[in-house]
Structure 1
């Protein structure tokens, strides 16, 4: 079957999944994947229909064995992304209420200052590149930056960023198909450590409130209810994970696309196209999140296919973003593309709550980099991570000039 071409163990597919995704789209908007036992939504229309239809739920199923996986399961069972109404409504309203207190806009000067310090400090990115060094722009700039930003927002010490990043990566590796025992064990250990860390921060903030999101999450009420301790911990871990994993991969995938296409890079660094407009193409062209799953809570017809109750649909976000029915010259990288109705932040009930923060952070950090280093170039081939659902690079070595 054509669907079985989608083989996430194939290095060629991981390197460039888009030819296979194009074959799937050509076959049908919905294709059955026999090995996984799920429907694949391949087109922009099918993905949009599934994500917008409230009858398709984000239904959490505990990972097994239950006793061993409980630390991982608890973090997911108690957060909004893995719940449907009414639980989702209450959790999202509480988190959105805290988010809505001006925290995101207050981050603008902090992000700008942070970007400047990382680029311009003695021994920083700019000095090293101007001295002729090759620099891994992911490790030195893109990876620590969003962890610092979400840590500042939440009121978590920046100094802990390496632990936060390590725990986050161990947890999100569980979202790939067919994970092995080592991946599960790493996720369990990370979940335990991450939960204990957040509980400590929450306990400190209860006694010493600050002008940060965790303080507001502790105080936020929906009617007469607040987040339970487990919900509070799970929500903070979700925000820390989602607040930087996707941002790192948008930056990496997008910057690599820019650096590989000097004409498009010049359009942005020269001011012909704004960073704000270009960012949307960076998200669309090489999607950082390739798959988002939904479960049918009833028999539902989509694109003339009946999805039976209990069946799962894997929405192929990267495929939807390359659909020629919606995007002219869909496989071409065009930083001036407008309109750009990509599905990078999801749709419907679970549309990304942190999208405004992600856009602000990426606009400022990419803008600062290109302003200081308009001649930035790839120094050598950039290796991909061996993952597909969360698609990104291991490193991106760059140099100052060609």
Structure 2
């Protein structure tokens, strides 16, 4: 069984995943403390089965993680029906007020500006870090626009998000757990103040819509639910999009024949970037009753993870799964989840990634400037930096 901390495995986990798929669709991973579904049908079943849910358990000791636990107890992602049904209805109602289309021109403009700056940095210095210049700032600017975060406060968002998502890794040391709680507390306090200001002075941003949204029963989001929703949108939208862009550009630069096909295949290239090197490798579920997935029995309370990176390379679903093909269609990857927890922000994420790829087509001579270092995490898969030059 693979070691999620092994640097050779992190560099290329897909051969290990292929061997696991050959052995069977579901396995017990003692190191992770849960079962893992490695075939596409099994992983899809994990995400869709209604006896497998998101059952939040507070980080412990609970008194040391007050804000972190508050964010997750009230999160759309960490709740099941009926609480999830109510939260999703309210948040979807706010999202449905045209926010993706409202932001589309702004997303295109931001992507173009960032890539222009990126190109200028390469001209001036010979190389530039794609992550620092484009992939990191694009999603945080877009989500800040979505939420209506003032420009002077936007530099706070990425450090908060980076610290909080570290808690999703396995075997995190105490100092990083403490940093996640500090970031959670600061983020909660900030968003509470922002929500109060938007209640008094509403705008066309999502925070304003979340403050005033009501459902048919006149239910509204509580203050904690509103804060948790905003944080979820930032963390899910920022972290995953950064890694899709970084992993995707690396794949394009490694496959020059696909780079030349990019301008005519932007939409399918977005889906292939998500599939080929999954930015989120594992998503957990907990059995709410005894259940069987692909012949593997789980008792109530036991955990199982959908190993998305393994599912995305399943040869029973994807022809030549280890080939990066920007024309691939259909492409039923599970990168945005499935079932009732399907990513609410998927339409906006697709707009962002396509905008970045479109802007990059103006730089046909890009090439890697050395081997980029991987992040040391398993669940959130990406690079620390991605140095690029011009041929």
> TM-score, normalized by length of structure 2?
0.97
Are 1:258 and 2:252 matched, yes or no?
A: yes
2:374 corresponds in structure 1 to 384
Q: Is contact 2:3-2:31 (8 Å) kept?
A: no
TM-superposed CA distance for 1:33, in Å, is: 1.4
CA distance in 2, matches of 1:47, 1:125: 38
Secondary structure of residue in 2 paired with 1:170? helix
Task: Give 1:3-402 correspondences, 5 Å limit.
Answer: 5-120=1-116, 124-131=117-124, 133-222=126-215, 223-268=217-262, 271=263, 273-370=264-361, 372-400=362-390, 402=391
TM-superposed CA distance for 1:131, in Å, is: 4.0
Secondary structure of residue in 1 paired with 2:326? coil
Secondary structure of residue in 2 paired with 1:9? coil
TM-superposed CA distance for 1:6, in Å, is: 2.1
Secondary structure of residue in 2 paired with 1:152? helix
CA distance in 2, matches of 1:297, 1:18: 31
TM-superposed CA distance for 1:127, in Å, is: 2.1
CA distance in 2, matches of 1:286, 1:377: 19
Q: How many residues align?
A: 390
Q: Is contact 2:5-2:378 (8 Å) kept?
A: no
Secondary structure of residue in 2 paired with 1:295? strand
Runs of 4+ in 1 over 3 A off after TM superposition: none
CA distance in 2, matches of 1:58, 1:327: 28
Q: Is contact 1:132-1:399 (8 Å) kept?
A: no
Unaligned runs of 5+ in 2: none
CA distance in 1, matches of 2:210, 2:143: 14
TM-superposed CA distance for 1:357, in Å, is: 0.3
CA deviation map 1:247-287 (0-9, x unaligned): 1010001111111121211221xx4x411111111000000
TM-superposed CA distance for 1:311, in Å, is: 0.9
Secondary structure of residue in 2 paired with 1:45? helix
CA distance in 1, matches of 2:340, 2:144: 26
CA distance in 2, matches of 1:267, 1:132: 28
Secondary structure of residue in 2 paired with 1:111? helix
Note the aligned Cα RMSD (angstroms).
Answer: 1.1
Closer, same or farther in 2 for the Cα pair 1:290/1:183, shift >3 Å? same
CA distance in 2, matches of 1:103, 1:216: 10
CA distance in 2, matches of 1:159, 1:255: 30
Q: Is contact 2:54-2:77 (8 Å) kept?
A: yes
Q: Mean alpha-carbon deviation: is it higher for 220-229 or for 31-40?
A: 31-40
TM-superposed CA distance for 1:398, in Å, is: 0.6
CA distance in 2, matches of 1:102, 1:140: 29
Q: Is contact 1:54-1:349 (8 Å) kept?
A: no
TM-superposed CA distance for 1:128, in Å, is: 2.5
CA distance in 1, matches of 2:303, 2:60: 19
